[in-house]
Amino acid sequence: MTSSMEKSLLRQSLRNHIRLRRRALSSQEQSDAALRVVSRVMNDARIRSARTLAVFLSFDGELGTRPLIDALWAAGKQIYLPVLHPFTPGHLLFMRYTATTPLVLNRLRIREPRLDITTLLPLTGLDVLFTPLVAFDAQGRRLGMGGGFYDRTLQHWRPLAGFYPIGLAHDCQQVADPLPVEEWDIGLPEIITPSRHWRWHDAGAKKTADAVFALRFPDRPWR
């Protein structure tokens, strides 16, 4: 077995293990975690100054985002949700989300706004992108579900300009050992969990340490 195959199997094993771990949380634990994250997010200066924020709707045991969305609405923020791109597989669009926005199930069985180009916001218009993840480590490496949707979106992140990505996760999604990374994996400058606000950025500058932020820009083929 090649090292590439071994890494792929290890990554999938980690996904399965952490997904089971977060799905095992009770309804009360999920509710408590969601509320604790709201407090951390709303006390963040970057969030307070942001106007447009992309948030995901939780599924598969992910950290609940409904209380966060309600708090952001109450603070006068504009909320956008990810939508599967109808013409470019593996890519996301971001559409305005209000209390009256109709939602549909996409092909991945995730709720998203019904396609309406009048509510579409380009990535350049986003201030903050809240990012889901399956697992993370103490260096800010992120392991997603494997579809690459957010990795492709994060390709457009420039640390000193444009949208700013922040991961949201349960504490149980942290792994003790460094995650096995691929060249297309993109780390995050911040991750917020119920018990901690992790920060790896230095005054907004891009970290260049090996394997911490494996940033790749859109001059290579999509994965």
Per the annotation, where are the binding residues for substrate?
57, 62
Burial call 78-114: b when 16+ CB within 10 Å, e when fewer: bbbbbbbeeeeeebbbbbbbeeeeeeeeeeeebebbe
List, as residue ranges, the binding site for ATP: 142-150
How far apart (Å, rounded) are the C-alpha atoms in residues 176 and 102? 40
β-bridge partners, 130: 166
Please list, in sequence order, all residues whose beta carbon lies within 8 angstroms of the beta carbon of residue 178, skipping any fewer than 6 positions away: 137, 139, 141, 211
How far apart (Å, rounded) are the C-alpha atoms in residues 68 and 80? 13
Query: Could you tell me if 103 and 112 are in contact, meaning their C-beta atoms sit under 8 angstroms apart?
Result: yes
List, as residue ranges, the binding site: 57, 62, 142-150
Query: Could you tell me if 72 and 46 are in contact, meaning their C-beta atoms sit under 8 angstroms apart?
Result: no
Rounded to 10°, the helix 66-74/27-42 angle is 30
| Block residue for tokens 């957010």 | 150
